[in-house]
Structure 1
């Protein structure tokens, strides 16, 4: 069996090849203008024939299109009187005390908002049926405005999708159409409308990208990671692009959970630090999901891994603001020109340049020696920054690192402390190309004493693709009091919802007997707006679990009826049976050299991970490099490798952060 997991990042594209029980990793510079080119280039460098290849990849095409405001000309179709729904939104102010909030353009220009009939009431009865005249008027509007895609969002379409289907059938052949009743059949017309509009606006872009990739990998089976952590075939992914917004990060969490499970470490605080951004999350056995995500300021109510993202990465640019204060990120040097030390024309100081100036990176060992860094270029960039601050290049570099660390520590507190979780109960797990350079400092900032740098940490998101099952996460609104619904009615509705996912996976060749089905309900007290998600265990037991979870989350329970809002079903195929190979007890020797690290009185030994055998303890300060990433083992920390090559870090007892 030959499987290739691929993660396309802003700076690098990572590939992990699994063949006959062995793993091979590879990294190439990304090609943002045409992401498939880096993938095809990497597969060619691995010497692989696409025919018969199983490719699972995480794509940033959908994410970048939304973040950069790119998309095709999209017509938004709503009921009469509701054409400006997406512009009005929830009337929520992101910054409550900002008296002069910046003006924001409406998602859809008014000339592209079209109103029609087909309006349902909350009881499922027609308030204004869709007529032939409505369809004729829509066809005329399409001919006049010539959109590239259409988003249809009618009120209460999750109760009856016949009007939306009739509108879709009236569209010209070849036009990309997204229906809210298919994209997100849930209560909440604004959130449902945003998801549908995003799906329609970026759908043609993602479809073209997937088409180019499929053409380049003719004969291969191509799947794409969804934001919820399951793989979907490429042709299905092209129809449901809004489900791909956290495609790459979901792979990282899957990889972290897989690597940690090999060592018996189920509770993790993770941070994935790449060249452009850092994603932080909690993994408690498996990644948590949320339906309250946001991207580019828009709510995304589709299931996705629960994480927090900030603009701090290895390529984050350090600069001074108008008042002379040091800033790091969110702007990034990316892959082209990249940090100054890449010697590709970049002149601005970045986090990677700062680590190199501080002696925490071996310029000859970057990417396993395949890419040499230019220390002089990095020093010159930090010297220019330091001159403006009245500091030396090394002092400026230390300031850049400390500021970047504080950005990431704050993000880790958001997903732990602010949610009632004590970071000390978890193991800090770093991955991504730049994460292990900062793991000790972040652990100290959070009062943590243990950290983990997984094997293949520099390509862990790509590794996560290999252990991702095919699957679907399905949702549907079913409003009513829980007690009045009854076990039989809810059970039947959940079975029907699961069957649609089982049928889709059957078309992908996944046998019914191999599928796992998880069922849950979104519940709230009558009169509340927000819900809690509970595993389905019958009406009585599920209601009791809701009361208990509400008390744990909010400190109280209410003497009110429990209301059922949404049904949720997760259908997943078998997890690929892969295991990390054992590294053996003996390493290959001693350090490969030394580095003069700023703040350390003596030269710091440079090791490769392969030089350390299982159980070989190393005391910081030290630099540990592998083919894809570098770990800075700070003073006061020690490290050893476990049986499969994960680097286990422990802070010395009594050392203060």
Structure 2
């Protein structure tokens, strides 16, 4: 039996297959890459899965599980090509989605775009007010639902060709009755409609964020569901009867059915696998403080992990395509910087790189697929940092003359630069763009990069790693054993996971008995809901782990932080522990705490997960002073960041053993990536195959 991790990027689809018939991943793991098919990701996924099975020499029906990271939902939200959505909402609150909150994207700019107004998820003409009203704090019904109005609205949607509908009523998190009944009526009128209620998507307070999240769910839902169901069907038709699992934005896995119902949970599916994979490889060598930088063909995804903790973003910061999306997401930043990022001269004569990308088709100019614009990959080829005859082990045919031509015509000649200086400029600009993003995810949040190792991966990651580490003053660089498929490997190291929430406002510091009883009752309901979701996926109840959180704030604050709730029955003692956990988290995030201030609970959250089999990674054979010469390949000229061109040896990474040290200048070559070791730096091979690259030699060997 075997399982497969498949991560779809903007340029390549990365695949790793792990068999269970061997006792080590060295003999039982197979890596593969295919070009991403942007017109339909499932084409590239299916091709890659079939080819990696052939490469491993296993039958297709031996694959038991496929874990998939996809950018389908993300691309829909960014490209604004989702479904036409209709909305039923409480009379008098039709324009909540347009007004938003008083917080503006750029407070002091007179010329800025407001995405929720310029590109609304639900057009105003498709937002129909309904007579109904629920009152806080008890959820009491003041105005009963006007079912005839709902029915007439559904018929209007049908006449307009709208088949994706959301129901968002005021205070439905206190009483779901009206929303669920409205959904029933819509389905009676439009049986094949994609309908979702705000209480089903995000059962928490704050109408604007709740409505926006539900609208995003319906906006990306039909196309995402079509893609996932189509992929599942194609796999089955090709003899691959495997359980298909999708990684969610929070790093947990979910079933296809669950993701079809709530595709808003997989908006950051693609980048999540990279953070988890980076953490996995760093943890093998006991490195806990890392900054992951996933540099692919189109974008760079950056996340800071302190003490091995993958941080979940605060809901107030969760935006996708400019719209607030109140679902749990791994805390990361994505910028348009990758191997395919295009260099150009803007209208004002400025030298720019990205965010526009050449993608996989036509790709960088050197690919010879019709691309004529210079990219970061073209610059690396021209500078000798990537060898044209070694890309993907020689499988990817590269023409360096096309790189030279593109950089000369589009950058060097217009700016009056030499071609070499133009190429160096491309690298310097893209590195600076990434360094700014790294600082915003670390220094700007009180994290000192000098205490962190930078972990660059993705096909383009390790060649940029040392320059980025020097730019942000990181302690050093970790190039994982398989940089090009680190995200795919991360998919095989995470658990099946669901999160359920319920809003309940009360003071915790001076909690009353009736509130404590209500909280205990709500936690039991949430526990059962999380367990039922996992049991539905075939998980035994004994294999389920539940973690409870209270999302709290100081009285008067506008947003919350997570504080863990102790296991067992909720008592006054455990409530006080929640208060202390909140104080501690506030101190970590903001550098201060108010021990005497009232702490207010806003939302309860329960995370249910079932542990999956972890990816096994084989230790390298110790060098014991031998074998280094066998890794030497050849020498070629390479131009470094300071402009000097040096004859630089190349090493075959697959032949390096635990304890080998490579002194710069050097390029360490492998099928899916190239690691750069500048002059004055050294790379030490760790026990599990990580390259520890540093100015001050880090010795992980013997």
* TM bin (shorter chain): over 0.9
Q: Is the 8 A contact 2:683 2:697 kept in 1?
A: no
The match for 1:461 is 487
For residues 404 and 556 of structure 1, the distance between their equivalents in structure 2, rounded to whole angstroms, comes to 39
- After TM superposition, the score normalised by the length of structure 2 is 0.90
Name the CA distance, whole Å, in 1 between partners of 2:585 and 2:280: 28
Given that residues 74 and 149 in structure 1 are in contact (C-alpha distance below 8 angstroms), is that contact kept between their aligned partners in structure 2?
Answer: yes
- Report Cα offsets for 1:58-117 as digits up to 9, x if no partner: 011000000000111110111111112111111322111111334724332221111112
* Partner residue in 1 for 2:451: 425
How many residues were matched structurally?
A: 654
Contact 1:149 1:201 in 2 (8 A): yes
Compared CA separation, residues 327 and 411, structure 1 to 2 (3 A): same
SS of 1:448's partner is coil
Corresponding position of 1:560 = 597
Q: CA deviation at 1:309?
A: 0.9
Residue matched to 2:153 = 138
Q: 2:48 aligns with which of 38, 42, 50?
A: 42
Provide the rounded CA distance (Å) in 2 between the counterparts of 1:344 and 1:325.
27
CA distance in 1, matches of 2:424, 2:271: 28
> Aligned equivalents of 2:533 and 2:673: distance in 1?
39
Distance 1:555-1:299 versus aligned 2 partners, 3 A rule: same
Deviations 1:149-180 (A, max 9, x none): 10111111111111111111112212101110
Q: Give distance in 2, aligned partners of 1:582 and 1:105.
A: 51
2:131 paired residue number: 117
- Distance verdict in 2 for CA 1:241–1:414, change over 3 Å: same
How much does 1:368 deviate? 1.8
Take 1:575 and 1:265, find their aligned partners in 2: how far apart are those partners?
23
Rounded to whole Å, the distance in 1 between the matches of 2:494 and 2:258 is 16
Cα distance in 2 for residues equivalent to 1:132 and 1:350: 57
- The residue number in structure 1 matching 2:571 is none
Matches within 5 A, 1:636-655: 636-652=680-696
Q: What is the aligned partner in structure 2 of residue 100 from structure 1?
A: 111
Provide the C-alpha distance between the structure 1 equivalents of 2:283 and 2:145, rounded to a whole number of angstroms.
54
Match of 2:526 in 1: 497
SS of the counterpart of 1:205? helix
Cα 1:485–1:580 shift into 2, 3 Å:
farther
Provide the secondary structure at the position in 1 that maps to 2:407: helix
1:288–1:550 distance in 2 versus 1, CA, 3 Å: closer
Q: Does 1:12 align with 2:9?
A: no
Distance 1:15 1:143 in 2: 42
More displaced, 464-473 or 587-596? 587-596
Instruction: Please give the alpha-carbon distance, in whole angstroms, between the structure 2 residues aligned to 1:602 and 1:68.
Output: 44
Query: Bigger CA drift: 128-137 or 534-543?
Result: 128-137
Alignment of 1:442 with 2:468, yes or no, is: yes
Q: Report the more deviating stretch, 395-404 or 95-104.
A: 95-104
Report which stretch shifted further, 240-249 or 637-646: 637-646
* Alignment partner of 2:556 out of 527, 530, 533: 527
SS in 2 for 1:87: helix
Quick check: 2:88–2:130 contact (8 Å CA) kept in 1? yes
Deviation at 1:554? 4.9
Give secondary structure in 1 for the equivalent of 2:650.
strand
Q: Is the 8 A contact 1:515 1:572 kept in 2?
A: yes
Instruction: Kindly report the root-mean-square deviation, in angstroms, between the aligned alpha carbons of the 2 structures.
Output: 1.7
Structure 2 vs 1, CA of residues 653 and 585 (structure 1 numbering), >3 Å: closer, same or farther?
closer
Q: What are structure 1's unaligned runs of at least 5 residues?
A: none
Query: What are the Cα deviations for residues 388-418 of structure 1, in whole angstroms up to 9, with x where unaligned?
Result: 1111111001111011011111111111111
8 Å CA contact 2:539–2:610 kept in 1: the answer is yes
Stretches of structure 2 that go unaligned for 5 or more consecutive residues are 567-573
Equivalences for 1:353-502 in 2 at 5 Å? 353-384=378-409, 385-482=411-508, 483-484=510-511, 487-502=516-531
Alpha-carbon distance, 1:135 to partner: 3.0
Distance in 2 (alpha carbons) for counterparts of 1:474 and 1:604? 55
SS of residue paired to 1:613 = coil
